[in-house]
Structure 1
Amino acid sequence: MSKEKTSFVYVTYIRSTPEKVYEAITRPEIARRYWGHENVSDWRQGSKWQHVRANDQRTVELVGEVVEVSPPDRLVITWANASQAEDRDAYSRVTFEVVEYEDMVRLTVTHDELEAGSGMANGISKGWPAVLSSLKSFLETGDALDVFAKPKAA
């Protein structure tokens, strides 16, 4: 019996260009500044990609494959915890769609094929809003947010 799947869609508007938004997602030296991770790949269809923690340990936390590449408008990748790399059922999919809107960009991130109620689904429901807010802040002001911040104790 197959497990129930879920998806999440995140949309943000960023005062930037499609090229800069796309580069911020795919260039490790930029992603590390607002995400605390580097997305490492040659960004060719069928290539592997890794999401590497940008610290001294350089831990590979996520892995996947590049499914579709159409810079600067669209990028589709598969996504799984590194510990589940061999389990094809553990993979979900992330689609980045970048659309120019006059002097800004609409970035839509769709994370689908997620197992409903899984740790990954729970994690990305909190993680993507922080990462995309940090990306927006970084591209518009040059200052990123702390994506690892925790809520203050009451």
Structure 2
Amino acid sequence: MEDPTEQSLWRPLHELLGRLDAEIGQIYTDRDIKGLKPTYVRELLQLHLKGPMTITELADAIGRTHSALSQKVAAMRTAGLVRTVPGADARSKQVTLTAKSKKLVELLAAEWRATEAALAELEAEVPYPMTQVVRDVEEALARKSFHDRIAEKLQ
């Protein structure tokens, strides 16, 4: 069997996004911030702006699944960025910012705005903006899902 992973249309996009995230992460490293990942910023800002939330509320606020957010909250808790306290009933937990993350929210908001400005600058340099690519792909996927496209190829 030949290695099917030698050719990939997916890998360059995945690697590009990884490089961009790594460069955002370097901003935190430059400031000696331990445990913070670019993928945590949206959740931390939501908690800062809206106050403590259950994992379900936080997942709904950012459009992720409860399972995905539960795992992320556990990682952020380990990094000392959030803590969980019992919620209104025994089944729920409230996610709150720690003192460490409260000190970071102004930097996180500034970094978010700077990242958006850098992306706008980057888009101005390329003939086909990434945001347009995303819109076009979303429209194509609305016509036929990625799942259906893959399943069709497996038949």
TM-score by length of 2: 0.28
Bigger Rg, structure 1 or 2 = 2
Q: Which has the higher strand share?
A: 1
Larger relative contact order, structure 1 or 2 (CA cutoff 8 Å, min sep 6): 1
TM-score by length of 1: 0.28
